Structure 1
Amino acid sequence: MKVVLSALFASAMVLSAEGMAEQKNVFGLNEKALLTDLDLVLPAKLDTGAETASLSAQNIRIFQRGGSSWVRFQLAVDGDADKHDQVLVRPLVRISQIKRRAGDMAEGESEAYTPRPVIHMQVCMGRIRQNIEVNLTDRTSFDYPFLIGSEALKDFDAVVDPSLKFSAGAPRCA
């Protein structure tokens, strides 16, 4: 009996240590995200069903500069009018192909995917700052101007608890 109890205790200690080493950052379904290079805090929806992050933007144009592709856009978010009217220019990382929902297609349309430009942005949630890929699209018809998908959530080493909202508090990256 002593041997069995000792083995159980040792196993519990090993499992506990492994669990601590793999501890994830817990975020709520919605969080405040700081776009650090813009000094702009936006409410974000954390969506494990989406692969990439999406930022609400309008007047999106891809152009060439110095032999590289770049993207010019304006934010389409509520709040600071100066930031909304500001034209932003970022290097184009790639073009993503986002699967369209059936409700997003007009009758007769057959394209199942829509192309979106992808840029890198530095984002802070809670105390964690990451450089993530963000696709640009007009999200003005959605409740949240910023969506953080599963690839970015992996970068944040995050798990999402849908019973929580804004649990990380205001972004406070050093």
Structure 2
Amino acid sequence: MVLLSYQLDDAHLVVELSDAVDLDNETAIERELLRLMPCCGPSTLIVDIATPLLTARALGLLLRVRADAGQRGVPMTVVARSETAREVLNAAALNRILRVAHTLAGAELRSRGCLPGAEAPEEDSRTGGLRERLRRGIRTADGTGPGARAVGPYAATSLPRLLPPRLLRER
């Protein structure tokens, strides 16, 4: 199996993974990734996942390649452009281990040791940016924000229902 690879710059080698990893092609893809990997640092290997389908075999493959890269002293980051791929990596709790970024520019920053927040934050359409406003300390139109208290049976969840401060004073 031939994987598309190119030099982003002198210190970053990008390898695109465009096919879903399954039982039939897993060993060929792993062999090709290990062949393309630089023999030693400081070059960084960036695996660009172009497919939205990340199987359990793909996750195992990425972890094995990361371990091999670590033994060679080569830093490795993963670019997950697809929302589905990012959700799978997040659900498997591999974001930090694989140093996942959304873009090639973000992967370059991650390879330099920058935190994931160095990329432009994406707006979550389900919450309308509520998490970001709460983190910054900005009150929303309905009075939620810093100083608002979580109430109700779902108060222990990550996004609790919030009682506006004017109702807090009335209690």
So what's the TM-score if we normalise by structure 1? 0.22
Greater RCO, 1 or 2 (C-alpha within 8 Å, sep 6+): 1
Higher helix share: 2
Higher strand share: 1
So what's the TM-score if we normalise by structure 2? 0.23
